[in-house]
C-alpha cells in the first residue's frame, strides 16, 4: 500500500470545497449533501488507513517526492489517524445534522466553510511540518470565525470578532515561534527539530515554547487565551458549537501533545519533560487546574445551556492539559482517551441542545423544565451525553478520568496531588450542574413545542449516543489503539527514525 495516497484525505476536501460555489448555483441542499458525502468518504478512508497503520507501524507520506527534512511530509501514526478519524466522524455526523435543518440563503457557503474547517483540522493532526501546521491552523481559525459569525445576529458578530482577535494574536505568536525555530535550527521539519531541539540555548527554547503556547492555546481553549469561549459559543448556532468543541479543540490539543512532547520534550525516566529553562510541565498542570476551576465555576452560575456546555468544554480541555503536564504514559493515554470522549459526548450534547432549543424556542434551562416528559428520547440522550462527560461508571468519561487519576497518582509529587484534588473537586461541581439540568428536564411540567425536528437530527444524535454507550460498556475496544497512540508520543526515537530514516542516528 502506497502511503502517499493518504494525501487524498486533504486533497479531496480542498478540491470539493473549491467546487462548492458551482454546486451552490445548482441547489443549496445539494452542497450540504456534497459536504456530508465528502466527510463520510474521509471517515471511511481514514479508518482503512488506521487499520493499516495499526498492523504495520507508523508511516510517512511524502509530498512532491522531496524526502522529509527537505520537503513537507505527513506523519501517519496511530495517534494522528485515530484523532483524524474522530474529527471526520464528528464532522460527518454534524454535516448530516446540517442537512436536516431549515435552508438559509448562505447555506452553500456555510457547508463549504464547514468542509474546509474539518479538512484543515484533519490536516493539522497529520502533518509533519511546523509551517504547514501553521497554514492549516490559519484556515481553521478563519473558517471558525466565519462559522461563528454565520448566525447573523449581533451576538454572533461579537463572538466572531473576539475569536478573530484572539486567533490572530495567537497566530502571530505562533509565527514568532516558527521564525525563531527556523532561525536557530534552520529547519521546519518536526522530526529534525525533535532531533536537534536540545542544541538550542535553554532560555531561547523556553521562549519558543511560550510563543508556541499562544498559537495553540487559542484553539485548545486553555487559560490565558480562552476569553473568547463564552461569547463565541453563545453567539454561534448550536450545531456550529459541536464543531468548535468536537473538532477545533481536538486539533488544538493534538498540536500541544505532538509539539510539546515529541518535538520540544526530552525523555527523563518514565516521563517526558519539556526542554528549556522553565519548568513548563508544572506550568501546564497549573494552567490545566486554573482552566478547569474557572470553567466549572462559571458553568455553575450560567442559565444559558449553550454557555454551560461551552464552559464545561473549556474545563475538559483543562483536564487534558493537566494530563499532558504530568507527562507519564498512563496519564497521556488518559488524556488521549478523554479527548476522544469529550469530542463525541460534547458533539452529542451540543446537537441535542440545538434540537431542544429549536423545539422550545429558548436556550434558558428554566424553560426546559418538563422537557423530558414531552420528549423522552431526547432527554435520555442528553442524560447519556452528560453522564459521559461527568464520568459516571459505565459511561465513557469514567474510564478516561480513571486513567488520568492513575497517572497523576503514579507521578506522586505534592504539587500533583494538590492539583488532582482541584480536578476532582471540579468534577463534583460538574456533576452538580449537569444533574441540575437533567433533574429540571424530568420535572413534571407541561410545555408546548414550537418547531418540528427533522428525523436526520434524531439519527445523528442516536449514532453518537451509541458510540458513548459502547465505549462506556466495553472500554477495551480502543485500548490497543490508545496504547499505540500514547507510545507514539513517547517513543521520540521512533518518530525521528520513521521520518528521517534509520541512518540518521549514525
Are 432 and 361 spatial neighbours (Cβ–Cβ below 8 Å)? no
Pairing between β-strand 271-274 and β-strand 265-268 as defined by DSSP bridges:
antiparallel
Query: CA distances (Å), 350 to each of 279, 317, 451, in order?
Result: 36, 16, 18
Site membership for another protein, residue 67 (CB under 8 A):
yes
Provide, rounded to whole angstroms, the least separation between the CB of residue 166 and another protein.
Answer: 11
Maximum distance among all Cα pairs of the chain, rounded to whole angstroms: 74
Binder among 40, 47, 62, 297 for another protein (CB under 8 A):
62
Site membership for another protein, residue 79 (CB under 8 A):
no
Question: Which is nearer to another protein, 49 or 188 (by Cβ)?
Answer: 188
Site for another protein in 388-447 (CB under 8 A): none
Binder among 53, 94, 116, 485 for another protein (CB under 8 A):
116
Site membership for another protein, residue 297 (CB under 8 A):
no
Question: Which is nearer to another protein, 277 or 303 (by Cβ)?
Answer: 277
Are 180 and 273 spatial neighbours (Cβ–Cβ below 8 Å)? no
- Structure-block grid coordinates of residue 78: 496511530
Quote the CA–CA distance of 460 and 98 in Å, as a whole number.
Answer: 10
Give the angle subtended at the CA of 333 by the CAs of 332 and 337, to the nearest 5°: 115
Quote the CA–CA distance of 155 and 355 in Å, as a whole number.
Answer: 20
- Nearest alpha-carbon partner for 80 in 132, 125, 35, 18: 125
Site membership for another protein, residue 287 (CB under 8 A):
no
Question: Which is nearer to another protein, 206 or 396 (by Cβ)?
Answer: 206
Provide, rounded to whole angstroms, the least separation between the CB of residue 141 and another protein.
Answer: 10
Site membership for another protein, residue 279 (CB under 8 A):
no
Site membership for another protein, residue 22 (CB under 8 A):
yes
Q: Any idea what DSSP says for residue 102? A: P
Site membership for another protein, residue 63 (CB under 8 A):
yes
- Nearest alpha-carbon partner for 143 in 244, 52, 57, 43: 244
Q: Which residues are CB-neighbours of 98 under 8 A, at least 6 positions away?
A: 32, 35, 36, 110, 111, 114, 239
Binder among 40, 54, 135, 469 for another protein (CB under 8 A):
135
Quote the CA–CA distance of 94 and 239 in Å, as a whole number.
Answer: 7
**Region of 42-50, 196-204, 309-317, 467-475 interacting with another protein (CB under 8 A):** 196-204
Provide, rounded to whole angstroms, the least separation between the CB of residue 440 and another protein.
Answer: 29
Binder among 155, 290, 297, 504 for another protein (CB under 8 A):
504
Site membership for another protein, residue 41 (CB under 8 A):
no
Site membership for another protein, residue 186 (CB under 8 A):
yes
Site membership for another protein, residue 199 (CB under 8 A):
yes
Are 105 and 7 spatial neighbours (Cβ–Cβ below 8 Å)? no
- For residue 318, what is the enclosing H or E element? helix 305-326
Site membership for another protein, residue 124 (CB under 8 A):
no
**Residues paired with 75 in a beta bridge:** 60
Question: Which is nearer to another protein, 195 or 274 (by Cβ)?
Answer: 195
What residue spans of 72-189 are helical by DSSP H? 78-100, 107-126, 130-149, 154-185
**Region of 50-58, 183-191, 337-345, 475-483 interacting with another protein (CB under 8 A):** 183-191
Block residue for cell numbers 497517572: 407
Site membership for another protein, residue 33 (CB under 8 A):
no
Site for another protein in 212-241 (CB under 8 A): 224, 227
Site membership for another protein, residue 196 (CB under 8 A):
yes
Rg of the chain over Cα atoms, rounded to whole angstroms, equals: 22
**Region of 65-73, 77-85, 295-303, 362-370 interacting with another protein (CB under 8 A):** 65-73
User: If you write DSSP's letter for every residue of 458-473 in order, what string do you get?
Assistant: HHHHHHHHHHHHHHHH
Site for another protein in 161-180 (CB under 8 A): 180
Question: Which is nearer to another protein, 185 or 402 (by Cβ)?
Answer: 185
Provide, rounded to whole angstroms, the least separation between the CB of residue 152 and another protein.
Answer: 9
Provide, rounded to whole angstroms, the least separation between the CB of residue 74 and another protein.
Answer: 9
Site membership for another protein, residue 37 (CB under 8 A):
no
Q: Tell how far CA 226 is from the center of its chain.
A: 14
**Region of 39-47, 146-154, 250-258, 376-384 interacting with another protein (CB under 8 A):** 146-154
Provide, rounded to whole angstroms, the least separation between the CB of residue 334 and another protein.
Answer: 30
Are 297 and 429 spatial neighbours (Cβ–Cβ below 8 Å)? yes
Amino acid at each position: 500500500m502506497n502511503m502517499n495516497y493518504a494525501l487524498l484525505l486533504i486533497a479531496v476536501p480542498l478540491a470539493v470545497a473549491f467546487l462548492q460555489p458551482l454546486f451552490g448555483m445548482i441547489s443549496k441542499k445539494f452542497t450540504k449533501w456534497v459536504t456530508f458525502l465528502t466527510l463520510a468518504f474521509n471517515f471511511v478512508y481514514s479508518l482503512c488507513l488506521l487499520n493499516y497503520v495499526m498492523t504495520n507501524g507508523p508511516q510517512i507520506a511524502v509530498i512532491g517526492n522531496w524526502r522529509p527534512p527537505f520537503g513537507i511530509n505527513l506523519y501517519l501514526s496511530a495517534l494522528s489517524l485515530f484523532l483524524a478519524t474522530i474529527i471526520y466522524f464528528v464532522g460527518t455526523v454534524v454535516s448530516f445534522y446540517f442537512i436536516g435543518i431549515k435552508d438559509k440563503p448562505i447555506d452553500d457557503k456555510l457547508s463549504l466553510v464547514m468542509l474546509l474547517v474539518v479538512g484543515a483540522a484533519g490536516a493539522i493532526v497529520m502533518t509533519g511540518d511546523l509551517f504547514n501546521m501553521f497554514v492549516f491552523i490559519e484556515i481553521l481559525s478563519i473558517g471558525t470565525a466565519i462559522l461563528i459569525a454565520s448566525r447573523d445576529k449581533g451576538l454572533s458578530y461579537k463572538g466572531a470578532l473576539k475569536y478573530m482577535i484572539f486567533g490572530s494574536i495567537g497566530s502571530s505568536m505562533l509565527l514568532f515561534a516558527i521564525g525563531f525555530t527556523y532561525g536557530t535550527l534552520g529547519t521546519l521539519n518536526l522530526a529534525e527539530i525533535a532531533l536537534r531541539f536540545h542544541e538550542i540555548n535553554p532560555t531561547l527554547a523556553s521562549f519558543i515554547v511560550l510563543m508556541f503556547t499562544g498559537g495553540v492555546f487559542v484553539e485548545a481553549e486553555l487559560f490565558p487565551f480562552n476569553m473568547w469561549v463564552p461569547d463565541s459559543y453563545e453567539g454561534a448556532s448550536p450545531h456550529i458549537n459541536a464543531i468548535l468543541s468536537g473538532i477545533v479543540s481536538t486539533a488544538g490539543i493534538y498540536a500541544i501533545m505532538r509539539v510539546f512532547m515529541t518535538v520540544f520534550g526530552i525523555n527523563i525516566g518514565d516521563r517526558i519533560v519539556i526542554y528549556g529553562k522553565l519548568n513548563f510541565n508544572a506550568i501546564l498542570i497549573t494552567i490545566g487546574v486554573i482552566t478547569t476551576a474557572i470553567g466549572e465555576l462559571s458553568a455553575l452560575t450560567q442559565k444559558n445551556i449553550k454557555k454551560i456546555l461551552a464552559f464545561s468544554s473549556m474545563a475538559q480541555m483543562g483536564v487534558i492539559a493537566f494530563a499532558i503536564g504530568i507527562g507519564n504514559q498512563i496519564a497521556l493515554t488518559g488524556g488521549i482517551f478523554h479527548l476522544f470522549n469529550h469530542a463525541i459526548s460534547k458533539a452529542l450534547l451540543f446537537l441535542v441542545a440545538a434540537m431542544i432549543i429549536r423545539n422550545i424556542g429558548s436556550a434558558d434551562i428554566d424553560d426546559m423544565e418538563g422537557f423530558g416528559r414531552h420528549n423522552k428520547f431526547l432527554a435520555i440522550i442528553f442524560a447519556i451525553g452528560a453522564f459521559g462527560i461527568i464520568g459516571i461508571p459505565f459511561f465513557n468519561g469514567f474510564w478516561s478520568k480513571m486513567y488520568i487519576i492513575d497517572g497523576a497518582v503514579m507521578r506522586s509529587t505534592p504539587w500533583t496531588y494538590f492539583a488532582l484534588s482541584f480536578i476532582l473537586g471540579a468534577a463534583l461541581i460538574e456533576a452538580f450542574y449537569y444533574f441540575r439540568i437533567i433533574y429540571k428536564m424530568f420535572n413534571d411540567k407541561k410545555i408546548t413545542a414550537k418547531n418540528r425536528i427533522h428525523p436526520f437530527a434524531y439519527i445523528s444524535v442516536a449514532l453518537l449516543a451509541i458510540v458513548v454507550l459502547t465505549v462506556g460498556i466495553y472500554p477495551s475496544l480502543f485500548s490497543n489503539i490508545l496504547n499505540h497512540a500514547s507510545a507514539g508520543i513517547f517513543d521520540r526515537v521512533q518518530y525521528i527514525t520513521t521520518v528521517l530514516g534509520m541512518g540518521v542516528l549514525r
